[in-house]
Structure 1
Amino acid sequence: MTVLYGRALAAVLGRVAATRAATGERFPLFAEPDTGRWTTTGRGSWTGGFWAGLLWLRARHTGAAYDRDAARDVTERLTDWVVADTATRGLVFWYGTALGDERAGRLRERAARACLEAYDPELGLVPWGSAFGGPRLLARVDGVPGMVPLLATVDAEAAESHLGTHLRLCCGEGGFRPASRFDAGAGWSAYAEPPPGWSRGRAWLLLAVAGAAGRADMPGLIPERLIPLADEDRPDGPVDTSAAAITAWALLKLGRREQAEAVLGELVRVHLTDDGRLLDGCYDLGEGVAVRHEVVWGTFFLACVLAAMTGLIDPREV
């Protein structure tokens, strides 16, 4: 299996090099399944850290100065997000710097302190924020992974509170809910977006639990299917390999190697192309955007699992 994983990792990181050549100074978001052509963004959005992380992973794989310089350049272009009002800074700055150099580490420290300044002790979390529009006082599962270990570098109690509050809101009575909204008069209530059946909801929260020291509670977060549906309430809809890749990485970090390998095997055998493209990721099912595509965060977490399985990285690093 190690040989298979090694070949798959080489293909994925080869695709990273091809993507870098194709996208230039822009950040890749998702690519067409037929052509491999990327839709990009200039500033990186909430996914920019995954592109930086992939470049750092390639740099470790090759040891080449050219690859390290490319990773360093992309990481530095994330700097503007330090002061952005969004809990997705956890995704940007933890996964974009975890495998980086000392300069990346200094950027991570700046981001961690900025996030701590945004921590609301009365709510017990860093709010979702206003950077992407909509209500600011939300608790969303995609604002938890990355944020927990990022906060933990500067304030362990804030990190524990951020995770614990989200676990309580997402996994309480009435079923799983990926988002809740706070009102000063009424308190917390369920928020409609993302929907309860969203594939990445449980995956993101499982990853957050896996990244928290001493945490072991996983109330209904491990999916029954190896590759979950993009929306479990739409059984005739597409699957989401990016959610599976996130889950596989979380399981590996939790020491559940056999379960992680079961998911990884399905991803590599069925959904990974010979040229290193992980297909069948879902960007936004509700809006019908990129529902069977290669998505940058799915590639990142697949690459992390493969790199850990082949000994290139330690799961505790990321």
Structure 2
Amino acid sequence: MSADGAGLGPAFDAVMARVAVTAEAVGPRFPLYAEPSDGRWTTTGRGSWTGGFWAGLLWLRARYTGDAADRRAAAACTARLAPWVGADTATRGLILWYGTAPAGDDAGAAELQGLGARAMLSAYDRELGLVPWGDALGGPRLLARVDGVPGTVPLLAGAGGQGAAAAAAHLSRHLDLCLGATPGVLIPALTFDAVAGWQPCPDPPPGWSRGRAWLLLAVADALLRPDLSLPGPAARLGEAAERLVAQLGSTEHEFPGGSGPVPAADAGRPDGPLDTSAAAITAVALLKLARVPGPRAAGYAYRAEAILGRLAEDHVTGPGSGRPTGMLLDGCYDAGKGLAVRHELVWGDFFLALGLAAVHGIVDITSV
């Protein structure tokens, strides 16, 4: 694979073809994960925390094809995300940012994004210094989780001056809590107790594959937002990015454990399932970091394309495989529960497609 992304075009074509097949199969429902044997999707009616990724994939398809019918399908799917504006969950960042940002100048998507930004700002807790995880998906409300940061940062920033301040505080608080003081250890989730303060949660565990990927993505988004001013030294975000990237390992072994650019779903179980979705998220984060001026930009771009290339070569189904073409396999929904541990995941598809679209100039990675 060359430095300009040659060789990734067929993979993008295959993933876009898979989006078309999926759209026919799921109708008005939202795909969640698909069986590796036959590509049959498990779906949800409202989309859960992953609904925005399906809308985002449909917008990427509309950009790819230029077809008016594809654009209408994407707009209709985004409109179905509207009930999440009023839901008490920090995953509104994932739902309402990634479900609208790839839409470009679509008026309906822009309106929904604005409503989501204002709703997130109203949920910001000044005493805690963040938007709590919320109780819309069940469980305790006062959590800080790394998957409540990506999407939330740019979404909040869209709410103007107060939103930008809340976005900066939200990210800064999560960096304090999740990176902690122990080098190399990331705490993906903490719960708040009025007496004991913030305490680590056992689930997801410290070795959770997507923990570092989600936080790196949020940091990359913030570095692309000059309107964010985080407390502390101006170089803090760059230092956080370097620290997170360093924990990925060397160029030859992108992740610890010798698994190449695809990490184990749980670092504590190196012989367990992999998680291609974490690798795809990381690739997008690195592409964003490559757009931040600095001496490491070219290295970030190289590593991002290396990850995308490995995913395309080793984990995307092709013709003659006996399975639908364009599936990104070996994603792990929940290793601890044994749920969908070698499957196609809708957010894995989205971030792979977004990374490939950025490499081919179909989208501007700084705007999504």
The TM-score with structure 1 as length reference comes to: 0.98
> Quick one: which of 221, 244, 252 aligns to 1:221?
244
Q: Which amino acid aligns with 2:244?
A: L
Q: Distance in 1 between matches of 2:242 and 2:336?
A: 26
Q: Distance in 1 between matches of 2:112 and 2:137?
A: 22
Q: Distance in 2 between matches of 1:312 and 1:28?
A: 24
Q: Distance in 2 between matches of 1:4 and 1:314?
A: 20
Q: Which amino acid aligns with 1:152?
A: A
Q: Distance in 2 between matches of 1:80 and 1:296?
A: 20
Query: What does residue 67 of structure 1 align with?
Result: 70
Q: Distance in 1 between matches of 2:264 and 2:219?
A: 22
Query: What does residue 44 of structure 1 align with?
Result: 47
Q: Distance in 1 between matches of 2:367 and 2:331?
A: 25
- Write out aligned runs for 1:84-233 (5 A): 84-100=87-103, 101-154=106-159, 155-174=163-182, 175-212=185-222, 213=225, 215-216=237-238, 217-218=240-241, 220-222=243-245, 223-224=248-249, 225=255, 226-233=261-268
Q: Distance in 2 between matches of 1:242 and 1:64?
A: 28
1:306 offset after TM fit, Å?
0.4
Query: What does residue 301 of structure 1 align with?
Result: 351
Stretches of structure 1 lacking an aligned partner (at least 5 in a row) = none
Q: Distance in 1 between matches of 2:214 and 2:6?
A: 29
State the secondary structure of the residue aligned to 2:327: coil
The percent of aligned pairs where both chains have the same amino acid is 63
State the secondary structure of the residue aligned to 2:8: helix
State the secondary structure of the residue aligned to 1:211: helix
> Quick one: which of 234, 254, 258 aligns to 2:269?
234
Query: What does residue 283 of structure 1 align with?
Result: 333
Runs of 4+ in structure 1 deviating by more than 3 angstroms, as ranges, are none
1:173 offset after TM fit, Å?
2.1
Q: Distance in 2 between matches of 1:315 and 1:24?
A: 28
Q: Which amino acid aligns with 1:158?
A: A
Q: Distance in 1 between matches of 2:102 and 2:269?
A: 37
RMSD: 1.0
State the secondary structure of the residue aligned to 1:28: strand
State the secondary structure of the residue aligned to 1:29: strand
Question: What CA deviation, in whole Å up to 9, does each residue of 1:1-40 have, x standing for no partner?
Answer: 5452221111101100000001111100000111100000
Number of residues of Structure 1 aligned to a counterpart in Structure 2 = 318
The TM-score with structure 2 as length reference comes to: 0.85
Q: Does 1:264 align with 2:267?
A: no
Q: Distance in 1 between matches of 2:349 and 2:55?
A: 12
